[in-house]
Amino acid sequence: MWATGEAYEPYVGRWSRLVADRFVRETAAPGGGRWLDVGCGTGAVTRAVLDLARPAAVVGVDPSRGYVDYARRHIVDRRARFVLADATRLPFPDATASVAVSGLVLNFVPDPARAAAELARVVVPGGRVGVYVWDYGQGGMEAIRAFWDAAVALDGEARTRDEGTRFPLCAPGPLGELLAGAGLEDVEVEEIRVPTAFADFDDYWTPFLGGQGPAPAYLSQLPGEHRAELRERLRAALPRAADGSIPLHARAWAARARRRAD
């Protein structure tokens, strides 16, 4: 499902960069630190850290070789490197990062509590941990919410594939509790809302054909006639501006905390 950076970028990557910039700015970590970006994907958070946080070094970690290769090709800053690894088994000693972050990943980790514990483990005492996820459950990720609403209207079984149903973590309470449960303190949760305007319907629809993520994976399995019916239902349901663009928004929930000082 998560393998091709070139397909991910037009689907969600272009919006994840907007959130990453806001998230890194508001994390407000001192310059010169060592950052760990867990579930780095195509490198949105790593790029934001390099551009905005004045780090000494950033290590991006992802289990997808395709995404790691993409990040290596597109981020050539000498302060950054990328490694293949799982969020629940980070290949780093205890207390080696100043800041550990994870963007748009924890919903897709089979054991998010274990991943949060790993984030807490690798930061130094007093170090910062930050995570954020799309709000699938409360309609905050409007582009994907519209897709599943249309899909479920045509096929009730699609409800079991809907991120809003599958991912209870994507709300303020559960996200904050995740970090507190990892033994972190001073937990804060905030909303990050960004515009996701599509130039036209093709700009909205075509990225769903790339196979990256639950909605595109579901779409790829539909018969051609069913797929066409879903496309036309979406075409009729989405809002349109006078110039034909589709003005939507996306909301992420971000949580930040601190490892207890020794």
Q: Does the pLDDT value for residue 5 go beyond 80?
A: no
Closest CA to 171 of 108, 87, 107: 107
Pairing of strands 123-134, 97-103: parallel
Q: 61, 38 in Cβ contact below 8 A?
A: yes
Average of per-residue pLDDT values in the chain = 93
Who's near 14: CB < 8 A, 6+ residues apart?
none
Q: What is the pairing mode between strands 185-198 and 123-134? A: unpaired
pLDDT of the residue at 9: 78
- Residues whose CB is less than 8 angstroms from the CB of residue 9 and which lie 6 or more positions away in sequence, other chains included: 42
Average pLDDT estimate for 27-51: 94
Cα 257 to chain centroid, rounded: 18
pLDDT at 150 (0 to 100): 96
Name the residue among 202, 208, 199, 215 with its Cα closest to residue 149.
215
The per-residue pLDDT for 48 is 97
* Radius of gyration, alpha carbons of the chain: 18
Q: What is the mean pLDDT of residues 7-21?
A: 85
Q: Model confidence over 70-84: pLDDT tens digits? A: 999 999 999 999 999
All domains of the chain in start order, with CATH: 5-258 (3.40.50.150)
Is residue 133 pLDDT above 80, yes or no? yes
